[in-house]
Amino acid sequence: MAVQEPLVHHPDWPAVQSAVPLDPSVEARIEDILGRMTLEEKLGQMIQPELAELTPEDVRAYAIGSALNGAGIWPGGDRRASAGDWVKTVDRFWEAAESAYEGRGFRIPFMWATDAVHGHNNVYGATIYPHNIGLGAARDPELIRRIGEATAREIAATGMSWTFAPTVTTPRDRRWGRYYEGYAEDPEVVHAYAPAMVAGVQGADAGSGVIACIKHWVADGGTVNGGDRGTAVCDEDLVRNIHAVGFLSGIAAGAQSVMVSFSSWESEANYDHAPEWGEPYNHKLHGSRYLVTDVLKEQIGFDGIVISDWDAHAEVSGCTVGDAGYAIAAGIDVLMVAGRDAWQSVHRTAAEHVRAGRITQERIDDAVRRVLRVKMRAGLWDTPRPADRTVDPAVLGCDEHRAISREAVRKSLVLLKHEPGTLPLARTSRVLVAGSGADAIQKQTGGWTLTWQGNDVTLDDLPGAQTVADAVREVVGDGHCTVDPYLEQADPAAHDVAVVVIGEDSYAEMRGTIKPWGTLAYAGLKRSYARDLETLRRLRESGTTVVTVFFSGRPMYTTEEINLSDAFVAAWLPGTEAGGITDLLFAAPEGGPAYDFQGRLGFSWPSTARSHTVNRIPPHIPDYAMPAEEQAPEGEHAPLFAYGHGLRLADPGAPTGTLPEDTYVDTTPVPAADGPLEILGGPDGRAFDVRIGGHNTWSRPHISFDGPTDVLVVRSEPLDDPARPDALSLEFKGYAAFVYAQDPSGEPADLRGYAEAGGAVEFEVRVLEAPSGPLYLACHDDYPAQPGLDLAPRLAELAEQSPGEWSRVSVPVAELGRIGSDLQHVDVPFMLYTEGTATLELSRVRWRAGQD
C-alpha cells in the first residue's frame, strides 16, 4: 500500500492522482467497443437490476452489464444458500451476458455486485467482521487492509466481482441510523482507513481483484438532525474537508466506483442543470450535476463508475422510479433499479430522452466508457466464467479469516471505566452473564447481516458464531457460568462477578434513526433497554462486581449504567467472534492479562441525553466555525469521554467517583385534545399522506386513491363506496410491511391529551382474510423500535363473527401509552404492521377525544 499523505485542508477541490492511471491501450480498446455498440446495448450497461427482479433471459435481451443482490436476497430465496449455489447463480447470468453479444464481433463481460460491508455479510457461512464504528476505534489501517483482502477472497469465492464498500462517511449526528457505518467523527481516521480498505479489496496494485466502491457521495453523515436521506446544509468547505475526505484518499488509492447518497445538499452551488424539465430541482445528490460531474468527475478527476443507490433516482425531482433521465443527465453512470417493471422502464425512457435530445449521446458514452474501463482494469475479459474460477469456496469463514475478525474485535473494544483490580477476571470465576445481549447474536452483528435489518438472524444462520454467553462458557466451563438475562432465577450472591451485556437491537438504515425530538438515553429508547438498567441496579444493590459490555451503533447516554458498573466496555457491533471480548475480560491461562485494551474512541461520548451532535473540532481546518446544526464540545455538551479516550488495564481507576448524571426533565404541559383527529375518510378530506413501507420497499411509495398501488409487500386499491370516502382495500402479502398515515410536514403532534380525555384510536374495517400472524397498530413509523398493539385476535374474531361486514375497532389511547408509545411526539397517528398475510378493507380512521 502506498504511503498515506497527511490530512490537509483543501481550500478548493483538489485534482487527485489515482493509483490506477489511464492506460492508452485500454482506452483504445474501449473506444473500439464503444463505437460498435447500439444505444440499447449501451443502456444495458448502465442498468443494474437485483437478483429477485432479473432473469438470465432479461440479461440476454437487454444486454444487461451487471446485477446485484441486496440484503435478504439469495438464490432461490434460501438464506443458507452455499457458496456453490451463488457461483451457479452468477454463472447463469454471466453466460447470458456472453450470449447477448453473439455475432457482434465483440464481447462485454458481466459483473455481479454485493453489499459486503463487514465481511461478505449477505452470504451464509462468510466471516463477519465488526462494523466500521468498532474498526475506527482500533486505529489500525493495516488491520483494515487485511480485512479488505480477506473479504475480497470470500467475494471471489462466490463468483462475484464488485462490492459496495467501504463506506467512508464522517457521521456528525448520533441520531442517524447509519451512524455505525462511519469509522469516526473526525475525518483523520476516515482519511487513513479509506485507502487501506480500497487497497485490501482491490489487491496490492489497487487495480486487480474485486472492485471497491466508496460511498455515499457526499455528506450523508452531515444531514440536519441525522435525518436518513435528509439534507446537509453545511458550507462547501466543510463538505470538502469533513465529508469528502475519505473519497479523496480512496480515489487516490485507486477506488474504481463511487456510490451517490440518497441525501440532499442545500446550497446555491447545487444548481438545477435542466430547469426546462419542469419541476424545480430538489437538491437531491443523485440529481446534482455540480457534485457528480463538475466536482467528482472533472475537478477531482475520478474516471471510474458513479453508481446510484437502490432506486434513489426516484427521489430526484424530474424523475420517477421508472424514469431516471434527470439523474443520468446529472452524471450517474449506472442505475441501481430494483423492480422489474421499473428497470425496464428506465431503459425505455432513457432511450427516449436520448432520441429527444434531453440526454446527450456524449453523456451516455461517458457512462459506458467508465463501465468498460472499470471492467477492463479488473481483468474481466481474461477472467473465466464463475464456474471455472479457482477460488476455493472453503475460504468462506475459514480459520484464518475468523482469526482476523477476532483480532479486530480485541482491538476495537474501548475500556471507558475500570475500578483497579476488576479486570482481568480469573478463569476460575463463577460468572453470571446477564443483560438483554447476553445470548443475543443479533445485538452483536447488527444490521446488514444476512438480512437488511439483521434483526431476525439466529446462531443457526451464522455457523461458528458465538454470543458472549457462549464465549464465557468456553473460558470458565458450563459449571461456572450461569446465563440469566433479567435475573429471573439466578442468585447474584452465588457468583463472583456479573458480566452484563446490554445494547441496542439490530437495525439498519431508516429503522435505526432516532427522531429529531428523541434523545440518546439508552434506557429511554425501549422498554427492553430500561430492563437492562433495572438489572444493573439490582446487581449493584446485591453488592456483585459488575462488568458491563455495551453493544451499540453509536455513542449513547449511559452515565447511570457506567456508575453502576465496576468496569464498562464499549464493544460497538463486534460481529460473530465474541471470543475477542473474553480475550480481554479474562486472564490468560497462566495468569495475568492475556491482552490489554487498546481501542480509543472515534466518537465523543455524550454527557447528556441531548448531546446529539458534539464532535471534535477538526484540527486540520483553520479557523473552524462550528456549524449551526452541531453542538460545541464544551460547556453544557462537553463530552463525558472525549474523542481518543480509552483506558488500559494499568491506568489509574478513572473515572473516579460517581459521574454527574443528566437531570433534565421535559416540563411541557399536556395540551387538551381538540376534537377528533381525522386521518382517513373524514369530512375535510385527506390531511395525511398514506404510504407503504417494508421489505425491499425502501422508497415508501404513496398509496393512490385513484387506482391500485401494487408493490412487493402490499397491494392497495381504493373502494368505490360513496358512503365511505377514501376507503381502501389492503392486501398484506406475507413480507414485513407497514401501511401508515403521516402528516406531510413530518412534524410530530403532542397527543397526550387524548389519553387524558379517555380517547381512542378507531377505524371501520371489513376483514376479508384474517391475519396469519400478529398485526400491530402503532403510532410511529419506526416500528418495531416503538411498540405496537397486536390487533390480530380482534380481527380474527370479526372475520369469524361478522364475515364480510363492516365493524368498528376502537383502541383506547391510554392502552397505546401503557405499552410504551410516545404520545408526546406522534408523527404517524396510524400504522398497521405485519409480517404475515391479511386482507382488510379500511375506512373512517380517526383519533377521538372522550366517549361518543
Question: Is 358:274 a contact under the CB 8 Å cutoff?
Answer: yes
C-alpha span between 783 and 775 (Å, rounded): 12
Helix (H, G, I), strand (E, B) or coil at 852: coil
pLDDT in tens, 93-143: 999 999 999 999 999 999 999 999 999 999 999 999 999 999 999 999 999
Is the pLDDT reported for residue 852 higher than 60?
Answer: no
Residue 577 annotated to the active site: no
C-alpha span between 552 and 730 (Å, rounded): 36
When pLDDT is averaged across residues 286-315 and rounded to a whole number, the result is 97
pLDDT in tens, 132-153: 999 999 999 999 999 999 999 9
Which of 285, 271, 447, 372 has the alpha carbon at shortest distance from 23? 372
H, E, C per residue of 622-683: CCCCCCCCCECCCHHHCCCECCCCCCCCCCCCCCCCCCCCCCCCCCCCCCCCCCCEEEECCC
8-state DSSP, 486 = T
Q: Lowest mean pLDDT of 203-212, 286-295, 666-675, name the range.
A: 203-212
When pLDDT is averaged across residues 362-380 and rounded to a whole number, the result is 97
Give the residue with greater pLDDT, 656 vs 239.
239
Q: Which pLDDT band, with edges at 50, 70 and 90, does 209 fall under?
A: confident
pLDDT in tens, 39-87: 999 999 999 999 999 999 999 999 999 999 988 899 999 999 999 999 9
Cβ neighbours, 10 Å, residue 275: 11
Question: Is 10:240 a contact under the CB 8 Å cutoff?
Answer: yes
545-551 and 481-483: which strand pairing?
unpaired
pLDDT in tens, 635-688: 999 999 999 999 999 987 666 679 999 999 899 999 999 889 999 987 766 779
Burial class of residue 447 (count of CB atoms within 10 Å of its CB; 0-12, 13-18, 19+):
buried
- In this structure, the dihedral spanned by the alpha carbons of residues 317, 321, 322 and 324, taken in order and rounded to 10 degrees, is 50
Is the pLDDT reported for residue 280 higher than 80?
Answer: yes
φ, ψ for residue 674, nearest 5 deg: -105, 75
pLDDT in tens, 590-625: 999 999 999 999 999 999 999 999 999 999 999 999
Q: What is the pLDDT of residue 370?
A: 98
Indicate the average pLDDT of the chain. Answer: 95
Q: What is the pLDDT of residue 213?
A: 98
C-alpha span between 679 and 683 (Å, rounded): 10
Q: What is the pLDDT of residue 205?
A: 52
Q: What is the pLDDT of residue 49?
A: 97
When pLDDT is averaged across residues 303-312 and rounded to a whole number, the result is 97
When pLDDT is averaged across residues 295-315 and rounded to a whole number, the result is 97
Cβ neighbours, 10 Å, residue 637: 18
When pLDDT is averaged across residues 7-17 and rounded to a whole number, the result is 98
Question: Is 142:197 a contact under the CB 8 Å cutoff?
Answer: no
C-alpha span between 122 and 454 (Å, rounded): 10
When pLDDT is averaged across residues 268-281 and rounded to a whole number, the result is 94
Residue 142 annotated to the active site: no
Question: Is 361:289 a contact under the CB 8 Å cutoff?
Answer: no
Q: What is the largest CA-CA distance in the chain?
A: 81
User: Active-site residue among 154, 228, 311, 509?
Assistant: 509
Q: Lowest mean pLDDT of 184-188, 202-206, 443-447, 808-812, name the range.
A: 202-206
pTM score over 0.95 = no
Check whether the bond before 273 is cis (ω within 30° of 0): no
User: Active-site residue among 85, 309, 822, 835?
Assistant: 309
Please calculate the CA angle 445-448-451 and round it to the nearest 5 degrees. Answer: 100
Is the pLDDT reported for residue 436 higher than 60?
Answer: yes
Cβ neighbours, 10 Å, residue 347: 22
C-alpha span between 575 and 220 (Å, rounded): 24
Helix (H, G, I), strand (E, B) or coil at 766: strand
Question: Is 120:391 a contact under the CB 8 Å cutoff?
Answer: no
Helix (H, G, I), strand (E, B) or coil at 790: strand
- Which residues are 842's β-sheet partners? 728, 765
8-state DSSP, 299 = I
Q: What is the pLDDT of residue 206?
A: 43
Output 616-619 pairs: Cβ under 8 A, ≥24 positions apart. Answer: 616/185, 616/186, 616/642, 616/643, 616/644, 618/186, 618/187, 618/188, 618/241, 618/242
pLDDT in tens, 476-519: 999 999 999 999 999 999 999 999 999 999 999 888 999 999 99
Please calculate the CA angle 686-689-695 and round it to the nearest 5 degrees. Answer: 145
C-alpha span between 771 and 796 (Å, rounded): 7
Which of 634, 570, 557, 565 has the alpha carbon at shortest distance from 601? 570
Is the pLDDT reported for residue 804 higher than 90?
Answer: no
Q: Which residue has the cell 402503532?
A: 778
Helix (H, G, I), strand (E, B) or coil at 695: coil
Is the pLDDT reported for residue 207 higher than 50?
Answer: no
pLDDT in tens, 728-774: 999 999 998 999 999 888 889 999 999 999 999 999 999 999 999 99
Q: Which pLDDT band, with edges at 50, 70 and 90, does 544 fall under?
A: very high
Q: What is the pLDDT of residue 682?
A: 77
What DSSP letter does each residue of 164-185 carry, written as one string? ---B------TT-TTGGGSS-S
C-alpha span between 574 and 410 (Å, rounded): 9
8-state DSSP, 765 = E
Helix (H, G, I), strand (E, B) or coil at 162: strand
